[in-house]
Amino acid sequence: MKIGIVGAGMVGSAAGYALALRGGASEVVLVDLDADYARAQAEDISHAVPFAHPCRVRAGEYGDLEGAGAVILAAGVAQQPGESRLSLLSRNAEVFAKVIAGVQGAAPDALLLVATNPVDIMTEVALKASGLPPERVIGSGTILDTARYRSLLATHLGIAAQSVHAYVLGEHGDSEVLAWSAARAGTQPIADFAAQVGAPITDDVRARIDDGVRRAAYRIIEGKGATWYGIGAGLARIVQALRDDQRTVLTVSAVTPKVGETRDVALSLPRVVGSAGIVATLMPDLADDETAALRSSAAILKETSAQLV
């Protein structure tokens, strides 16, 4: 499958690199406002290909996206000193309007995979700007938060992360919800499993894992200014599910008709991802406080996106 990436910055390039190493694409085309930068990133990534899987990596214009099955949207502008979050958001919404017009001029059938933060809001922006059905506009959402949640739970239980089934729902950000009540290890509720292996989930453990998931990005940003490797690999994982019609359950963001009282809000829920995009959306059984937290996350997101119009 040919994959386009618009925005060849750290996140877009990390996605291209992960695709090259993982073997998710037959061809990767990087497009950026700064064509020289895109060329340099593409050439650098292409030098990893001889050590990985056959894949043509190049830079191009929008016209070169023709025939792409999916296009990753990682373009965005940086926050100016003193600039409000809302002003940054509206500038990024303008970027998306231009980018999506360019993509759809060349690849009208491509699925859109949104990576630019705040990813839930940008997913809603992309849906509106593209006119595509919601199942074809997918945000990376909490794919990474869920991976981190599983890996911290797995470490605590002393088992493989693949044997842990647990989700982070809602916003990719401060209001995200760790669905403790729906978490399973093997087929057992996580608390039962934990008690049986002698690693109970105490309030302290729970608080430590919650913090480890919720504040991961902050810690990385403190140390290196931004995050890109994890999300690059997450985007490549979504591409693989699309390309191979895997129907994998992933927590990705999409505009969802109703969450509590909030309508048409983009947030993450477990979703079945295949070649048509989002094939199904699942609502896990949640404890009352988690349901309330998810509804509140939806309301917070909608409040922000409503300010944009």
Q: Identify the H or E element spanning 233.
A: helix 229-243
Q: Which is nearer to ligand ADP, 4 or 274 (CB)?
A: 4
Contact (Cβ atoms closer than 8 angstroms) between residue 199 and residue 156: yes
Q: Which residue is nearest to ligand ADP (CB)?
A: 9
Q: Which two tokens stand for residue 284?
A: 């896990």
Minimal distance, residue 289 CB to ligand ADP, in Å:
33
Q: Which is nearer to ligand ADP, 122 or 294 (CB)?
A: 122
For helices 203-214 and 216-224, the axis angle rounded to 10 degrees is 50
Catalytic choice (47, 53, 156, 172): 172
Residue 62 known to bind ligand: yes
Q: Which two tokens stand for residue 185?
A: 């290890």
In 94-227 the beta strands, taken as DSSP E runs, fall at 111-114, 137-139, 164-165, 168-169, 177-178, 184-185, 188-189
For helices 288-308 and 85-106, the axis angle rounded to 10 degrees is 80
Residue 12 known to bind ligand: yes
Q: Which is nearer to ligand ADP, 70 or 74 (CB)?
A: 74
Minimal distance, residue 144 CB to ligand ADP, in Å:
14
Minimal distance, residue 269 CB to ligand ADP, in Å:
24
Tell me whether residue 53 is one of the annotated catalytic residues.
no
CA dihedral sign, ordered 103, 105, 106, 108: positive
Residue 102 known to bind ligand: no
Minimal distance, residue 221 CB to ligand ADP, in Å:
10
Binding stretches for ligand ADP (CB under 6 A): 6-12, 32-34, 37, 74-78, 95, 98-99, 226, 228
**What amino acid positions are annotated as catalytic residues?**
172
